[in-house]
Chain A
Amino acid sequence: MPAAVPQSNRDEPESHPPARGAGVLRDWIILVFASIHALKLLAGVIPEASRPVPVPHELAQAYEALTGSKQRWTMFETIPSYHKWRSRLVITTPDGRTRELGPLLPGFQEWMEPAPVRLYVQNERLFSGDHSPVMREACLRRLDDELRGRGLIAPGERWHLETLEDFTRHLVHIGRDGRLYERRVNRHEPPPAPAGERMEAR
């Protein structure tokens, strides 16, 4: 009777020379790392906000940052809210007339159609959520610097950024009249001048 052929996906310890020194140490390191990482991954099934006991330990956070293993799978988070989301720069002259510019740097480009996902999520998170006030302010300051640096704003003119947020209406209401969204326009003013900068210069 022929000997059973080992299945290719089974362990074949006889095919390996017995490990010594460095091999044993390497396997220990693998075991420790893999066990820690596996436990960390499994704990990630429960989202951070829902964990009964948060793990605020700095070491754990540093490990997540260094290994890129932070688990936050919030895909589709904002989808139910928006039918569309756009923004534009509005410049108002001293006599009240307005003109518009594309809001995307460099070069005050217009939004692309259809909007690439990354552009859409970045701008929506920048201006409609509370994700990053620091980045929002920095972005507005960049726009201000660029407008003034390129001479696109004359003395006495003012500018602001408008977000055009088209909220999807309730399905029942859409079914009644076919109108898909309600538009809300939000206004973001340029940040105040940094300390020490004279207003006349702006």
Chain B
Amino acid sequence: MRKTNLFIASAVAAALTMPFVSLAQGGPAPKPKFEAQKCYGVAKAGKNDCQTANSSCAGTSKRDSQGDAWIYMPAGACERLVGGSLQPKRA
């Protein structure tokens, strides 16, 4: 048994004996788990998650609330937004 290993093991043990107070605040917030729907017509320009009829990539819509650009939203939230639609609208 190597001396270093004993040193490491006792340091691990010592580190674990102190009470863990800050851990609750230290970690990342839990990832929200929600059912997502595509919501059309509410994305800010350039913030869409999809391709549209006239652009081919996410992040390329040209204006706010473009009717054929969608973003993911929690299920049920889209219908409650002004201009939100679960189907694409005329751009």
B partners with A: no
Q: Which residues of A contact B (CB under 8 A)?
A: none
